[in-house]
């Protein structure tokens, strides 16, 4: 679980968090989550693996304001060895209500841009992603 506070510069003229910041927060939470799994981007890049974003979706349910504190949960929603989908929920720490839900989709490439199948190229990372996917499936039941 990643936690953060809403900063003034993240709000618009109405004092509401600008929608683009939720996408940034997804990325912050994803990086934190991957580090917790032992899959930090630094480790991946050391092995010549890059993971670009293919798409991002967000559903804005409630407004957040300057000074609000949120917790952001990230999890492996889908993974097939070639593509990864990460799910997100942004929840107010004060009310415990969900303010935003979303997903980001990623693939894995060599530095040259050639697609990678982690199962063959990096079994350690593949195993960690599979373990995270299974843990999320069990938690949903």
Q: What is the mean pLDDT of residues 36-45?
A: 89
For the stretch 44-89, pLDDT in tens is 899 999 999 999 999 999 999 999 999 999 999 999 999 999 999 9
32 within 8 A of 8, measured Cβ to Cβ:
no
* Average pLDDT value for the chain: 94
Enzyme catalytic residues: 12
Q: What is the pLDDT of residue 90?
A: 98
Q: What is the dihedral of CA 91, 9, 4, 67, to 10 degrees?
A: -70
- Specify which residues 85 forms β-bridges with: 78, 105
Give the span between the Cα atoms of 51 and 85, in whole angstroms: 11
- Tell whether the torsion through CA atoms of 94, 133, 37 and 86 is positive or negative: negative
């Amino acid at each position: 679980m990643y936690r953060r506070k809403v900063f003034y510069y993240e709000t618009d003229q109405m004092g509401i968090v600008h929608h683009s910041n939720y996408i940034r927060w997804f990325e912050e939470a994803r990086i934190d989550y991957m580090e917790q799994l032992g899959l930090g981007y630094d480790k991946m890049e050391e092995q010549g693996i890059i993971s670009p974003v293919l798409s991002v979706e967000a559903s804005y349910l409630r407004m957040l304001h300057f000074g609000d504190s949120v917790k952001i949960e990230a999890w492996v929603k889908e993974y097939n060895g070639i593509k990864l989908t990460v799910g997100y929920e942004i929840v107010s720490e004060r009310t415990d209500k969900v303010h935003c839900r979303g997903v980001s989709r990623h693939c894995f490439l060599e530095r040259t841009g050639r697609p990678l199948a982690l199962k063959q190229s990096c079994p350690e990372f593949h195993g960690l992603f599979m373990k995270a996917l299974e843990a999320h499936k069990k938690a949903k039941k």
